[in-house]
Homo-oligomer: A and B are copies of this chain.
Amino acid sequence: MATTHKPTQSAAETDPANHPAEVRFRMRIMKGETIALGPGKVSLLEAVHKHGSISAAARSLDMSYRRAWLLIDELNRSLKSPATISEQGGQSGGGCVLTPVGESIIRLYRDVETQAQAACAGQIESLTKLLKP
- Report A's interface with B, CB cutoff 8 A: 16-17, 19, 21-32, 36-37, 78-81, 101, 104-105, 108-109, 111-112, 115-120, 123-124, 126-128, 130-132
CB of A26 within 8 A of CB of B23, answer no
Which of A118, A119, A127 gathers the greatest number of chain B CB atoms within 10 Å? A127
List the 8 shortest-distance A-B pairs measured between CB atoms, nearest first.
Answer: A119-B119, A116-B116, A112-B120, A22-B30, A108-B123, A24-B28, A26-B26, A112-B123
The residue that A24 contacts in the complex, of B22, B27, B81, B132, with Cβ under 8 A, is B27
CB of A25 within 8 A of CB of B27, answer yes
Which of A25, A101, A130, A132 gathers the greatest number of chain B CB atoms within 10 Å? A130
Q: How far is the CA of A123 from the CA of B37 in the complex (A)?
A: 13
Q: How far is the CA of A40 from the CA of B104 in the complex (A)?
A: 31
Chain B residues, CB < 8 A from A124: 27, 29, 112
